[in-house]
Amino acid sequence: MRAIFGLGNPEKRYYDTRHNIGFKILDLFLEKNRLSLSPGKGNYYFVKGEFSDSPFLIVKPVTYMNLSGKAVKEVLDNYPLEVSDLLIISDDINLDSGKIRIRQSGGDGGHNGIKSIIHSLETDQFSRLRFGVGKEFDNGLQADYVLSKFDDETLASIKPSLELSVLLIEEFLLGGTQSMLNLLSKSSQKDNSKTNSQNEDN
């Protein structure tokens, strides 16, 4: 069994904010697979399912972002999961909007949700999908920026990356982190090929 966690803040007013991109990606996966979440035995909502005979959990913590680790630890206590079975999806201000990076381990990168998970699990050896939300804010205004909503133009520009993120979740369920990395590499090569072709046409 594998488990996918999207990070975000639980109140509706945060739904379309940059900090809640993890929730948004999970919602797209749930919609595609006609699944809905129910309250879990702790500070999270979840659904169990199977993807091509691979069992999984989809989980949204209902703690605020900086306590995400509490919900992740509760899920690990309630289900037969190892840390290596986890995929955490979060926003990343250090990446351009729509850029995706996958890591099998590492530090928190200044993200309070990842920091909380590392603290609660006492390890950083879990996979994460980091979704870029850009860094277009003045010094000291980071909190306001990540808690602000995407405008329509930005949402349209990141739509392909959101769709790719859903495919990456599916790859993780089928073959783990390496399968995700393979798909992301193929997608990047395809994008580069398109760019080169357009440059030649121009």
Given the residues 19, 24, 73, 128, the one annotated as active site? 19
Residue 19 annotated as catalytic: yes
Q: pLDDT band at residue 195, thresholds of 50, 70 and 90?
A: very low
- Report pLDDT digits (tens) over 122-160: 999 999 999 999 988 878 788 888 999 988 999 999 999
pLDDT on residue 125: 96
- Report pLDDT digits (tens) over 78-121: 999 999 999 999 999 999 999 999 999 999 998 999 999 999 99
Residues 6+ apart with CB under 8 A from 31: none
Name the nearest CA neighbour of 7 among 62, 75, 55: 62
Percent of the chain with pLDDT over 70: 94
> What is the pTM (predicted TM-score) of this model?
0.91
Instruction: Parse the chain into domains and list their residue ranges.
Output: 2-201
Q: Are 75 and 44 in contact (CB under 8 A)?
A: yes
Residue of higher predicted confidence among 62 and 16: 62
CATH code of 2-201, in short, is 3.40.50.1470
